[in-house]
Amino acid sequence: MAELQEATIVGTPALDGRYITEMDMWPLECPEFNRLYQFYDNLREGRFTTTKCQKCGHIAFPPGVICPKCWSEELEWVDLPQRAKVVTFTETQAGAPIGFPRPLIMAWLGFDKDSPIKHLLVRIVNCTEGELKEGDEVRLVVFEVPSHPIEVKKETKICDRVYYAFEPVK
């Protein structure tokens, strides 16, 4: 009964409670469901990338399958800076969304002047509460996140996933 209750409340019973389809915390990253799978493959290789338009030169973030400036489909993957400075931040004990560890530290980052992205809201990991200060330098960190099953014809395939955050440069 306890097991049934747990599966009923926190997960999707048909998936043995492995993930909550409506509230999956992470993107569907695999090529079967996402044309931007290259972004995640690049993360696996330690690269933080996005799409640049070969027609107008615009670098967009997040990446896309068209350029949001001129709607061209001629895009290439380019690297983004992996270090930035903390402009301001917040440490949340009570308000972290379900599934995120507490305290949840989120920071508003400022990138160098010549960076195609000026700012980004990110999660800060490998950092204890009270440790982070405004002006601190942080760097990209990539980690594994829970995988999910997909159905390919009559087979079930497991898709591994990664995601990224930033950590203090010590």
Task: List helix spans (H) across the chain.
Answer: 2-10, 37-44
- Region of 16 please: left (phi>0), alpha (psi -120 to 50) or beta: left
Three-state SS for 167?
strand
Residue 49: which of 108, 116, 119 has the closest Cα?
Answer: 116
The one segment of 41-49, 95-103, 136-144, 151-159 that binds another protein by CB under 8 A? 95-103
Residues of span 55-94 touching another protein by CB under 8 A: 61-62, 87-92, 94
Taking CB under 8 A as the rule, which mask of x and - marks residues 29-48 in contact with another protein? --------------------
Choice from 30, 106, 141, 159 touching another protein (CB under 8 A): 106
Using rule CB under 8 A, residue 100 touches another protein: yes
Kind plus residue range of the DSSP H or E element containing 82? none
- Minimum CB separation of residue 127 from another protein in Å reads 13
- Minimum CB separation of residue 143 from another protein in Å reads 12
Please say whether the beta carbons of 72 and 158 come within 8 A.
no
- Minimum CB separation of residue 96 from another protein in Å reads 6
The one segment of 41-49, 71-79, 119-127, 149-157 that binds another protein by CB under 8 A? 119-127
Chain Cα centroid distance, residue 64: 15
- Minimum CB separation of residue 26 from another protein in Å reads 5
Separation CA 164–CA 142 (nearest Å): 4
Using rule CB under 8 A, residue 165 touches another protein: yes
Using rule CB under 8 A, residue 143 touches another protein: no
Separation CA 7–CA 14 (nearest Å): 9
Three-state SS for 156?
strand
Residues that bind another protein (CB under 8 A): 22-23, 25-27, 61-62, 87-92, 94-98, 100, 104, 106, 108, 117-123, 163, 165
